[in-house]
């Protein structure tokens, strides 16, 4: 899609520090890294969000991301990594070409866990929530 930054990177029309190029996926360093080695893995094809991607493409993207994450961790000598997706504006998505973040983690880097992205106050009735969510599997 013309005008999409990540389509331009996938097509080699915008400079990026690529670290892996697969048939359907590309991985490159994030321009504003959270930690050294912060990498983005994207599908070559334009999908604005993960929700738009066919299940098969999601599978390929995650397979590539898992492989890339192991290599990044090893190369960086990192102690672990966070892998995540900001899916939708309210979740913090800024670039609307689906992508997976791989953030290598280092001892004492001062970062938090995936649970630090949001916090709810008060308790919810988990069984009530589970019933509501289960219905989404039968209605689609």
CA distance 45 to 11: 10
Catalytic residue among 38, 45, 46, 99: 99
Restricted to residues 107-136, the positions that interact with ligand 5GP (CB under 6 A) are none
Q: Is 45 in the site for Zn ion (CB under 5 A)?
A: no
**Cβ nearer to ligand 5GP, comparing 73 with 93:** 93
**Residues 111, 102: Cα–Cα separation, whole Å:** 14
The kind and range of the H/E element at 112 are none
Q: Length of the chain in residues, anyone?
A: 140
Q: How far is the CB of 14 from Zn ion (least distance, A)?
A: 11
Is the Cβ of residue 15 or residue 132 nearer to ligand 5GP in the bound state?
15
Our answer to whether residue 99 is catalytic in this structure is yes
Buried/exposed 6-40: b ≥16 CB within 10 Å, e otherwise: bbbbbeeeeebeebbebeebbbbebeeeebebbbb
Using CB under 6 A as the binding rule, whether residue 47 contacts ligand 5GP is answered as no
DSSP E strand stretches across 36-122: 39-43, 80-84, 100-105
Size of the site for Zn ion (CB under 5 A): 6
Q: Does 82 bind ligand 5GP (CB under 6 A)?
A: no
What are the backbone dihedrals phi and psi of residue 26, each rounded to the nearest 5 degrees, phi first?
-135, 140
Q: Which stretch binds ligand 5GP (CB under 6 A): 23-31, 51-59, 60-68, 69-77?
A: 23-31
Given the complex with ligand 5GP, which of 116 and 140 has the nearer CB atom?
116
Answer for which of 94, 124, 125, 127 binds ligand 5GP (CB under 6 A) is 94
Q: Which residues are catalytic?
A: 99
């Amino acid at each position: 899609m013309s005008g999409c930054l990540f389509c331009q990177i996938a097509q080699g029309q915008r400079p990026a520090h690529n670290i892996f190029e697969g048939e359907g996926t590309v991985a490159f360093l994030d321009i504003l890294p959270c930690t050294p080695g912060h990498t983005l893995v994207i599908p070559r094809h334009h999908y604005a969000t993960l929700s738009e991607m066919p299940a098969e493409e999601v599978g390929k993207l995650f397979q590539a991301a898992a492989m890339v994450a192991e290599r990044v961790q090893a190369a960086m000598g990192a102690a672990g990594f966070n892998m995540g997706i900001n899916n939708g504006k309210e979740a913090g998505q800024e670039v609307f070409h689906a992508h997976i973040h791989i953030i290598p983690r280092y001892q004492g880097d001062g970062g938090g866990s995936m649970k630090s992205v949001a916090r709810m106050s008060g308790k919810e009735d988990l069984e009530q929530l589970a019933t509501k969510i289960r219905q989404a599997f039968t209605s689609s």
